[in-house]
Structure 1
Amino acid sequence: MPLFGSFRIGRWFGFPIRIDYSWFLVAALVIWTFSTREFPRVLPFYPASTYLAMGTAAAILFFLSVLLHELGHALVGRMRGVTVESITLFIFGGIAQARDEARRPLDEFLLTAAGPLASLALAGLFLGARIAAEAVAAPPPVVTVLGFLALLNFILAIFNMIPGFPLDGGRIFRSIVWAATGDLVRATRWATRGGRLFGAALIVLGVFNLSRGQMISGLWAALIGWFVVNAATSSLRHFELRHLLRQIPVGAVMDPRPRTIEASLPVDRAISEYFLRGNQEAYPVERDGGLIGIVDLRAVSEISVNLRPGTPVSAVTRPADEFPAASPDEALVEALSRAQAGVSSLLVTHNGYVVGVLDPREVAVRVRRMQRLGLVSPGGAAAPGDQVGTYVPSPPAKSA
């Protein structure tokens, strides 16, 4: 869960790799800790430049190890049908961001276990490299760094196996409970409790270490504990929202009978009569009653003010197939997963007609309103006697 925004550095095995800006803080802290505390403690009497080189090399290889840990999740997820959108390194490690949940307990178990197994494999690899380096009488700094990386990867694997959601161990625990009970919601809540308890224990440990004057270890334990508690809580909320959106069809929250713009209307009038007065940021464009495409706020804003009176909307209209579309009967979670960056609305079609527009920004507000009205329960099910998914088509415009 990125914290301060991120930027992309490339692709690996088809997965976009991103770095959160918070990563630079932890990278500097790790290099400083390795160079000024850990390596001088285990390998004394070397110059500061050697410790800095050791700390930098160890930090780079450790973060590469974290990336490979997340890549293990992503590759197995792809094999099991789970779409992983990107891998991000941030202050607390890394995260493989998936678009959807695993479909079966076995899928969740396998894709989650792949990360710790990758870390254990890396621990074995670095341990083997350390033994080989000793055998050929490599310089002690090289041997020390390799041994340190073996230990760090082993700790990473063990730490992630603690049964508290959203750590890997918590997800594995969730998959086991899910398989035993057949109830993913219950399994997620049980695993989340474990994550909160573990995070709280880390906070207590951190406060205890701080009281004994162990500032660095105390701060790190408290900070990681705080992160785990908050990550467990936010992960549960995100899961419950996705579960809720699976129960609500697009037709229940879309804007029905959306306003359409005539293709010949000048851009200045489209701005004053539609974009300034309505809530939509994208409108279907018609010519002779037929849909020719979509015009959005960004397109009209790019036309110079002095050219707007003489420019028809059709000149800045994009074909409808360039915009994500939805069906009124499909689940909200499926429709929203197709929303593209920079596109504010999804066109809703039924039997070849445009029947509505779905604004992703309005979904949360409308779902909360449905909950307040008792149309859906917090768990996502329709309230007894209500029909959340009722949809009666009333087509205003024929699609091309």
Structure 2
Amino acid sequence: MPLFGSFRIGRWFGFPIRIDYSWFPIAALVIWTFTTREFPRALPFYPSSTYLAMGTAAALLFFLSVLLHELGHALAGRARGVEVEHITLFIFGGIAQARDEARRPLDEFVLTAAGPLASLALAAAFHGGRVAAEAWAAPAPAVTVLGFLALLNFVLAVFNMIPGFPLDGGRIFRSIVWAVTGDLVKATRWATQGGRLFGGALIVLGLFNLSRGQFISGVWAAFIGWFVVNAASSSLRHFELRTLLRRIPVATVMNPRPRMIEAEMPVERAISDYFLRGREEAYPVARDGDLVGVVEAQAVSAVRKDARATTPVAAVTRPAEEFPVARPDESLAEALFRIRVRVSYLLVIENGFVVGALDPREVSARVQRLQRAGLVSLDEKPPAARGAASGEDLGPPPAKSA
């Protein structure tokens, strides 16, 4: 659930680690709170430089703790057969982004519980470190930081166990409702309502604290409450969209038999006969009936006007291997998962032939039309796919895959 975009910083245990840009202002705020309020209150009469060092160290170790919390989810998910794409640290905590939902309630329960258990283990480790530091007469700032981190990880575990989606407690609650009712959609809606109620309660608490002149605690509570309410709503929308996409076969929304451009056709003619007359932003390119790649609108537009009449389309065609491939009978969720940056086109292949194409930008509108027509919903089974899924004859394929 990225907020403002993110960048990759490395890989742990095979999982890419990313940081959302929203992490930086909250990191600065956390360091400021530790440095100017928490540590001076817990350990008075030390110089400002000491509090700054304590606040910076505590903030970095706390965010490392959040990362380890998410690694707990990711490793448990891997053990239960749930593929995790990456881990992202963002404005309030982090997220282990799974490719899909867990297949069974028990899988959901185990991979979710692993996060709070990791935080409890970290709380115990930091507490043990504080006890050992005291026994060895370590400097008071070090002892204070270790004790503070033990408390923070304990609070993180307890806070995450509140039964409101998308918090860990909400996901555990969802897994229990799912196991009892057998309905993941209903379980998600119930858990989301819990998240909204909890977030609303935090907002009310924050406003109450503000009315009493407790500015910092009031702002924090209200801001976290607002974040939880919005996260619950956006997580529900994301879940419902993924559920719908899993129930719609590619054949239902693909462009069947896409128009092919010959590799030796001049770019000028491709622009006039294809890109200006059609809605597509990309077309398959064939040579002697065999697929050689895909040409995109931005590629032909980049060719100089005085060279378009003599430049063949093949010169600006990207190889077919750079584009993801889907089957007509697989779900949209599976197909769209393969799309990455700078890929705006997905070829649909059956028995080695191109039978369709999928433009990700058109998927949302087509899914909405299916919903309005009553052909697909969250409470119904998916329609049968055309082609391989239903046995419908698609006719002779227009081009063979290379």
TM-score, with length taken from structure 1: 0.95
Specify the alignment match of 1:24 in structure 2. 24
Q: Give ranges in structure 1 of 5+ residues lacking alignment.
A: none
* Residue pair 2:249, 2:332 contacting (<8 A) in 1 also: yes
Specify the alignment match of 2:149 in structure 1. 149
Q: Which amino acid in the other structure matches residue 398 of structure 1? A: K
Alignment of 1:359-398 (within 5 A): 359-381=359-381, 389-391=385-387, 392=392, 393-394=394-395, 395-398=397-400
Alignment of 1:100-139 (within 5 A): 100-139=100-139
Q: Which amino acid in the other structure matches residue 252 of structure 2? A: A
Q: Which amino acid in the other structure matches residue 55 of structure 1? A: G
Instruction: Tell me the alpha carbon deviations over residues 287-332 of structure 1, each in whole angstroms, 9 at most, x when there is no partner.
Output: 2223222222344355444443322122233332331111111111
Residue 346 of structure 1, CA deviation = 0.7
Q: Which amino acid in the other structure matches residue 206 of structure 1? A: G
Instruction: Tell me the alpha carbon deviations over residues 199-237 of structure 1, each in whole angstroms, 9 at most, x when there is no partner.
Output: 111111111111111111111111111111111111111
Counterpart Cα distance in 1 of 2:217 and 2:324 = 49
SS in structure 1 at match of 2:318: coil
SS in structure 1 at match of 2:279: coil
Q: Which amino acid in the other structure matches residue 161 of structure 1? A: M
How many residue pairs get aligned? The number is 396
Counterpart Cα distance in 2 of 1:109 and 1:187 = 13
Q: Give ranges in structure 2 of 5+ residues lacking alignment.
A: none
Please, which moves more after superposition, 72-81 or 143-152?
A: 72-81
* Residue pair 1:243, 1:380 contacting (<8 A) in 2 also: no
What is the identity percentage for the equivalent residue pairs of Structure 1 and Structure 2? 77
Specify the alignment match of 1:202 in structure 2. 202
Q: Which amino acid in the other structure matches residue 389 of structure 1? A: A
Instruction: Tell me the alpha carbon deviations over residues 156-212 of structure 1, each in whole angstroms, 9 at most, x when there is no partner.
Output: 000001111100011111111112222111111111111111111111111111111
Specify the alignment match of 1:326 in structure 2. 326
TM-score, with length taken from structure 2: 0.94
Specify the alignment match of 1:399 in structure 2. 401
Find out whether 1:343 has 2:343 as its counterpart. yes
Specify the alignment match of 2:214 in structure 1. 214
Specify the alignment match of 1:252 in structure 2. 252
SS in structure 2 at match of 1:194: helix
SS in structure 2 at match of 1:292: strand
Q: Which amino acid in the other structure matches residue 371 of structure 1? A: Q
Find out whether 1:293 has 2:289 as its counterpart. no
Q: Which amino acid in the other structure matches residue 87 of structure 2? A: I
* Residue pair 1:86, 1:96 contacting (<8 A) in 2 also: yes
Counterpart Cα distance in 2 of 1:304 and 1:79 = 53
* Residue pair 1:326, 1:348 contacting (<8 A) in 2 also: yes
Change (3 A) 1:380 1:221: farther
- Cα RMSD for the two superposed structures: 1.6
SS in structure 2 at match of 1:150: helix
Q: Which amino acid in the other structure matches residue 87 of structure 1? A: I
Counterpart Cα distance in 1 of 2:316 and 2:2 = 35
Please, which moves more after superposition, 285-294 or 62-71?
A: 285-294
Alignment of 1:161-310 (within 5 A): 161-310=161-310
Residue 153 of structure 1, CA deviation = 0.4
Instruction: Tell me the alpha carbon deviations over residues 371-394 of structure 1, each in whole angstroms, 9 at most, x when there is no partner.
Output: 112222353545xxxx55344413
Please, which moves more after superposition, 287-296 or 38-47?
A: 287-296
Change (3 A) 1:239 1:363: same
Please, which moves more after superposition, 118-127 or 367-376?
A: 367-376
* Residue pair 2:165, 2:171 contacting (<8 A) in 1 also: yes
SS in structure 2 at match of 1:309: coil
